[in-house]
Structure 1
Amino acid sequence: MIRTIADIAKIAGVAKSTVSRYLNGGSVGEATRKKIEKAIQETGYTPNPFAQSLKAKKTNIIGTIVPRLDSFASSQTLIGIDERLKELNYQMLISNTSQDLNREIESIYSLANQKMAGIILLATVITDRHLQAIADINIPVLLIGQEHEEIHSVIHDDYHAGMAIGQYVLEKGHRNIAYLGVTELDIAVGIKRKQGFTKALEGKEDIDVHYYETEFNIPAAQAAAMEILRNSNQSIVVCATDNIALGCLKAAYKLGIAVPDTLSVTGFGGYDVTEAIHPGITTAKFHYKEAGKKAAVNMVELVHERPVEILTTMNFEIIKRESVDTI
């Protein structure tokens, strides 16, 4: 049986307005609060967040802008946001931009016009247009995956993950190295990971490292890896993402190059598929779901105008699998 505010009010012996005030975070007496909570618990009543938002001065809906839905990192991050927001009595509304920056800017304004309490942006780049839109809408905005000195952010430790992968590659004896990265417009993946990796190699003798660039998708990575593997003698390809590593594995297979006997491969991300395939891919695992949960908590704090650190950095771990051989 579907319960309403009127049902809760009748069971608790209070007015509907009192129940509504309680649900919207208003002030009610301690004895009244206990009666309402008991009625809610007994009936299993769940407030409708959208209905509440129509009446409340502040909504309990958080807009979340995502560049693509068919990404392991994005989907895991969204799951984390959703799970924690529900625990905090907030609702998530997703806007997918299909990696179109114009749509991303439009979504910022659109969500603000829909009375969102705040916006979480799974960012790839931050442009002047982003900064202008964020300044214009005058509601809290939080970034995931990228950082900016003026905007609250939750990021992965791309720099130190890159360094850790570099150190591991050296420990395994590799000296002829290819690094297959992405555009430096993406600060986190395109710059930070490569900087950390380069730092690990700094000052080491007899290192021959070549840097290449590709796109994030597997077909483009495969094509780039085919060219690299045909024209070089690197013992390992360090890939800026797990999808790029998958493309590299496919290229090696097509060229008849055995992994890891002849060629080693590493990635970044820790996608589930890296464990399911053979050989399993050595990777720097980022905790996307936990990052989403942390972003949700920080966003709710910002909505309530409570202090939040401008930058939150998540941990990572190196997962060592069969794709890297010892030289």
Structure 2
Amino acid sequence: MVTIADIAKIAGVSKSTVSRYLNGGSISDATRKKIERVIDANSYSPNKFAQSLKAKKTNIIGTIVPRLDSYATSQTLIGIDEQLRELDCQLVISNSSQDLNREIENIYSLAKQKVAGIILLATEITDGHLEAFRQAQIPVILVGQQHDQLHSIIHKDYESGYELGKYVLQKGHRNIAYLGVTEKDIAVGIKRKEGFKKAVEGQPDTLVHYFETSFNIKGAMERVPEIIEEYQPSIIVCATDNIALGALKAAYMKGLRVPEDLSLTGFGGYDITEITYPGITTAKFYYKEAGRMAAKDITKLVNGEELGKISFTKYEIIERESVDNLL
């Protein structure tokens, strides 16, 4: 592997001169051309991360994710990475493993690495987050959550919840269970539920029971049987596709047919919901598009461009076989 020292020796200049060239510093035209010829001849590619630690301005964007084993996270990261590559920027990923303290530590850590900006796939914004961002003094974009002090890219959680609620009513369901998550997550735990509530409020002869579970499939599998036994809903509206997958498994373990005995819906539009049998009706979010938007917006902020506080991604209701028509 060719190093800066090798380039300097071949070009007949000092290492500091090569370093100044790589960081955009001031050197003579003759020296610049000499270094460029040596770099081209040896196919030298500088370590941009190491470069950035010495530079005043970097092309590295830090992205903090709550978990890596998530369809939404992976799709968003793909979008971020693809767009940053097109913008000649690099991506550094920090995983918090759903630990808010670790998430805040990651903010400080990325700031010390002199990243140009931070994209946070947020679940909850605390005072600790805000203080970390204040001390970091670098641009920040939230994805998935909204905060009035930060730039945000959010999915239309309320609107999709409302539209899915209307869809469920149009299918004739009046005994409904809504299986959500903690309200600490504003987007998934509150906004989706509020949209759904608005859609069904005032509907005659309609009974809706609201429950909470974890984000994972296993949690839903454990929660759903008691809901079925106690309330016998005709449909369970699940706040995420993972919850819907857990509900689907739980229904089959109880010997129920979907959708004949129990209907199900989700949110997210995960690829697997299309290949399960039956396919799961869901509110599909475009996570990769959100990632691309985040990458574009963070580079705008880094470059000092004006940017609105909130950007929205699109969604659509994908109708599959998991909802029975009772009318």
TM-score of the two chains, using structure 2 as the length reference: 0.88
Aligned match of 1:205? 204
List gaps (5 residues or longer) in structure 1: 11-15, 29-35
For 1:183 and 1:120, locate their aligned partners in 2 and report how far apart those are by CA, in whole Å: 23
Matched-pair contact (CA < 8 Å) for 2:153–2:310: yes
Matched-pair contact (CA < 8 Å) for 2:2–2:42: no
Aligned match of 2:31? none
Aligned partner of residue 298 in structure 2, secondary structure: helix
For 1:22 and 1:159, locate their aligned partners in 2 and report how far apart those are by CA, in whole Å: 51
Aligned match of 2:229? 230
The size of the alignment, in residue pairs, is 321
* Displacement after TM superposition at 1:203 (Å): 2.2
Query: In structure 2, what residue type is equivalent to 1:277?
Result: T
* Displacement after TM superposition at 1:57 (Å): 1.0
For 1:55 and 1:219, locate their aligned partners in 2 and report how far apart those are by CA, in whole Å: 47
For 1:259 and 1:83, locate their aligned partners in 2 and report how far apart those are by CA, in whole Å: 38
Matches within 5 A, 1:77-92: 77-92=76-91
Matched-pair contact (CA < 8 Å) for 2:279–2:320: yes
The alignment status of 1:97 with 2:77, answered yes or no, reads: no
* Displacement after TM superposition at 1:208 (Å): 0.8
Q: 1:44 to 1:288 in 2, by over 3 A?
A: farther
* Displacement after TM superposition at 1:55 (Å): 3.9
Q: Deviations for 1:34-79, whole angstroms, at most 9, x for unmatched residues?
A: xx99x99999876542243144211111111111000000011111
Q: Percent identity?
A: 65
* Displacement after TM superposition at 1:137 (Å): 1.1
- The more displaced of 53-62 and 206-215 is 53-62
For 1:55 and 1:110, locate their aligned partners in 2 and report how far apart those are by CA, in whole Å: 16
* Displacement after TM superposition at 1:262 (Å): 1.1
Query: In structure 2, what residue type is equivalent to 1:248?
Result: A
- Runs of 4+ residues over 3 Å off in structure 1: 1-4, 16-28, 39-48
Q: Deviations for 1:73-132, whole angstroms, at most 9, x for unmatched residues?
A: 001111111111111111111111111111011111111011111111111001111111
Q: 1:47 to 1:312 in 2, by over 3 A?
A: farther
Aligned partner of residue 282 in structure 2, secondary structure: strand
* Displacement after TM superposition at 1:308 (Å): 1.0
Aligned partner of residue 231 in structure 1, secondary structure: helix
Q: Deviations for 1:160-187, whole angstroms, at most 9, x for unmatched residues?
A: 0101110110111111100000010100
Aligned match of 1:129? 128
- The more displaced of 283-292 and 19-28 is 19-28
For 1:58 and 1:271, locate their aligned partners in 2 and report how far apart those are by CA, in whole Å: 37
For 2:245 and 2:229, locate their aligned partners in 1 and report how far apart those are by CA, in whole Å: 17
* Displacement after TM superposition at 1:261 (Å): 0.7
Query: In structure 1, what residue type is equivalent to 2:130?
Result: L
Q: 1:83 to 1:208 in 2, by over 3 A?
A: same
For 2:256 and 2:18, locate their aligned partners in 1 and report how far apart those are by CA, in whole Å: 68
Aligned match of 2:259? 260
Aligned partner of residue 196 in structure 1, secondary structure: helix
List gaps (5 residues or longer) in structure 2: 28-34
How large is the Cα RMSD of the aligned pairs? 3.0
Matches within 5 A, 1:240-251: 240-251=239-250
